[in-house]
Amino acid sequence: MNKLREIECFIAVADLGSFVKAADALGISKAAVSRTVLELEARLGSRLMQRTTRRLSLTEAGSLYLERCKQIVAALEEADDLLLAGSAKPAGLLRINAPVTFGILHLAPLWPIFLERHPEVELDITLSDRIVDIIDEGYDLAIRIARLADSTLIHRKLTSTSLPICASPGYLEQHGTPRHPHELAQHQIISYSYNHGKDEWQFSGPKGPVSVRVNARMHVNNGDSCVQAALGGIGITRQPTFMIDQYLRSGQLVPLLTDYTVPDLGIYAVYPSRAHLPAKVRAMLDFLSEAFAQVHWSGPAEA
């Protein structure tokens, strides 16, 4: 039996919840679908579905197998699209959304290079720190700086950034230097409004995880404003290295609590679907992957 045919039948039955509906969708008989799934279970030596006269449900093994099968089918579709896209020239309007500061510092220098390589592509760039709905708002691609382990969007990781806790020397001279995350509760905090976890800051330390509720003197929905406030001595902030690397190097900001780590954020290109990926989107994904292959946040990325 063709394994791909087995997978096709199994996915159809699992998604539609019915052998009859799966048969109609695949254009074959119900008996053929049922026989194929039974042969698949026999070959694997594991029951994938529980069948009753009233309903059909996946077993634990069936759920795991379904997830993996869908990944295999998606990979096959991507392989097909890769060849199809290879014969197509990137062209047309490409709409991209990106965070404001990252877009200005690290993407803006790249756009002329991309356009020179692909003269038939037009770019429509929107910078916003708001998380946009790329499907509803009509974007081809977006840059996200986040932890996307559970994201339903298709994504390609470009690089990552750490999140140092820092303050100006002037602030520390006046208010003291915290030695433990719990001491942050007694300090003035400049908080980025879109932070995951808001004002509950999580750390991993020498003795395990630590959580502290900080008291923000300022909430700001723009990272640049947080950095400028910290440089002005207003308080302590937590910002990505792609924004503050130069200030850490110059000593204008001082890293704090270096024995306690915060999980890095990934920097991703996200897009709605692998299926029928336009050549212009694939070209941009490949270009950004190349541009950010080796980045140490000492300056704008170079292609």
Same domain, 196 and 214: yes
The whole domain housing 61 covers 3-86
Confidence of residue 137 (pLDDT cuts 50, 70, 90): confident
Q: Which tens digits make up the pLDDT trace of 232-262?
A: 999 999 999 999 999 999 999 999 999 998 8
- What Å distances lie between residue 274 and 63, 81, 125, 171, 217, CA to CA? 22, 8, 21, 49, 44
Question: CATH number, domain at 137?
Answer: 3.40.190.10
160 assigned to some structural domain: no
Mean pLDDT of the chain: 87
82/110 same-domain check: no
The answer to whether residue 158 is domain-embedded is no
Has residue 242 been placed in a domain?
yes
Residues written for the chain: 303
**Percent of the chain clearing pLDDT 90 (strictly above):** 48
Mean pLDDT of 182-189: 93
299 falls in which pLDDT band (50, 70, 90)? very low
> What pLDDT does residue 269 have?
94
Q: Is residue 7 part of a domain?
A: yes
Identify whether residues 78 and 137 lie together within a single domain. Answer: no
Q: Which of the listed residues 70, 86, 102 is the one where a domain comes to its end?
A: 86
Give the least confident one: 13-22, 192-201, 227-236, 237-246.
192-201
* pLDDT at position 232: 95
Average pLDDT over residues 62-79: 83
72 and 211 housed in the same domain: no
Would residue 296 count as lying in a domain? no
End residue of a domain, out of 66, 86, 106: 86
Rounded CA separation 220/200 (Å): 16
Selection from 99-113, 121-135, 183-197 with the highest mean pLDDT:
99-113
Domain shared by 139 and 278, yes or no:
yes
User: 249 and 173: one domain?
Assistant: yes
- Look at residue 106 and tell me if it is in a domain: yes
Number of domains within the chain: 3
Is 181 a domain residue?
yes
Q: Is residue 297 over pLDDT 60?
A: yes
Per residue, the 3-state secondary structure of the chain, as one string, reads CCHHHHHHHHHHHHHHCCHHHHHHHHCCCHHHHHHHHHHHHHHHCCCCEEECCCCEEECHHHHHHHHHHHHHHHHHHHHHHHHHHHCCCCCEEEEEEECHHHHHHHHCCCHHHHHHHCCCEEEEEEECCCCCCCCCCCCCEEEEEECCCCCCCEEEEEEEECCCEEECHHHHHHHCCCCCHHHHHHCCEEEECCCCCCCEEEEEECCEEEEEECCEEEEECCHHHHHHHHHCCCCEEECCHHHHHHHHHHCCCEEECCCCECCCEEEEEEECCCCCCCHHHHHHHHHHHHHCCCCCCCCCCCC
Summarize pLDDT for 22-40 with one digit per residue, the tens.
Answer: 899 888 998 998 999 999 8
Cα 75 → chain centroid: 19
